[in-house]
Amino acid sequence: MTPQIQTTTEAVDQVFLLIFGISVVMLLGIAAVMVYFAVRYHHRRHPQPTSQVSSNLWLEITWTVLPTLIVLAMFYYGWAGYLALRNVPEGAMEVKAVARMWSWVFEYENGRASDRLYVPVGRPVKVHLVSEDVLHSFYVPAFRIKRDMVPGMDNYVWFVAPEAGSYHVFCAEYCGTGHADMITRVEALPEGEFIAWLARVEDEGAGGEDLLRRHGCLGCHSLDGAQMAGPTFKGLYGREKRVLSEGRERTLIVDAEYLRRSILQPKADVVVGYPPIMPDYEGRLSEEDLEAMVEFLRTLQ
């Protein structure tokens, strides 16, 4: 029942055009006939009812059977299109998409991680959808795919990028303050370039900025002073901050110790004016990574 399709875009577009086409024909057809009848049988032209017809078997059969066939056809093609979206072609590359408030991280089988979804052109990609906290939704309009990401529930989508290019990825399920910032890209690269990109696994001493990106920090904290869901990282080190610690406001100077604590247990000292919504990173970072991140934050003057 699954037709041989090349891309998810084709699968969805064909069904969409079919249903949209039928709807347009019905709308125009019914409206035209209605207007025609209203004029043709206007009561001024026919003050008295003249027709004595009480029923017409063939007419009734026609207007029952025809719409039934049309609706069944729409169902058939819709179902076939849906199956095409659920049946991943063989040989698809597998990637894990992790969504959290409010950023994306894509993890590859060889350990590479990125905040953009890099894929090879022309090859099917199966994306495993994982949410770390609340409901999100993985939405790539260019490939006509959109699927909810429910915490604790395994799900997936697949697509194939027909041409090299950059395609938008949105979160399509309202997930809080930074929801509108949950935008990233699918970067479709020619096979050779993609393989080269994938092989560039970050070595031990990955840069602090890479780490911030990979752990999703930059979804809420800017590097250039821009206002986002959390305080900017720019010029943070050495600055005085008003924070809320166990319900009491106090002033502290941002130093390495404070930065470490704020990454591992962000709710210990929350900067005044920001909601206590950052997830804990306790137990999720290696000591070297933590050091590299703090070191990088120090340099952002």
- Residues engaged in binding Cu ion (CB under 5 A): 136, 171, 175, 182
Q: Classify 103 as helix, strand or coil.
A: strand
Tokens of 135: 């409901």
Rounded to the nearest whole angstrom, what is the least distance from the CB of residue 160 to Cu ion in the complex?
24
Q: Least CB distance from residue 17 to Cu ion, whole Å?
A: 30
3-class SS of residue 247: coil
CA dist 45 and 47 (Å) reads 6
* Site of tokens 């209203």: 38
For Cu ion, the closer CB: 171 or 292: 171
* Complete DSSP assignment for 142-209: GGTEEEEE-TT--EEEEE--SSSEEEEEEE-S--STTGGG-EEEEEEE-HHHHHHHHH----TT--HH
Specify the residue, 113 or 171, whose C-beta has the smaller distance to Cu ion: 171
Decide whether 102 or 233 has the Cβ nearer to Cu ion: 102
For Cu ion, the closer of residues 15 and 175 by Cβ is: 175
Nearer to Cu ion, 19 or 183 (CB): 183
CB closer to Cu ion out of 98 and 160: 98
Distance from C-alpha of 218 to C-alpha of 182, rounded to nearest angstrom? 11
Residue 65 one-letter amino acid: V
Distance in Å, CB of 197 to Cu ion, minimum: 26
* Number of residues that make up the chain: 301
**Residue 100 beta carbon to Cu ion: minimum distance, rounded to whole angstroms:** 8
CB of 290 to Cu ion, least distance (A): 26
Strands in the chain per DSSP E:
93-100, 103-108, 113-114, 117-120, 125-131, 136-140, 145-149, 155-159, 165-171, 183-189, 240-245, 248-253, 269-271
**Residue 42 beta carbon to Cu ion: minimum distance, rounded to whole angstroms:** 57
- β-bridge pairing 145-149 and 136-140: antiparallel
Q: How far is the CB of 187 from Cu ion (least distance, A)?
A: 20
Q: Which is nearer to Cu ion, 124 or 216 (CB)?
A: 216
Pick the closer one to Cu ion by CB: 36 or 174.
174
Closest approach, Cβ 218 to Cu ion, in A, equals: 15
- Residue 198's nearest CA partner among 208, 207, 187 is 187
DSSP letter for 90, please. Answer: T
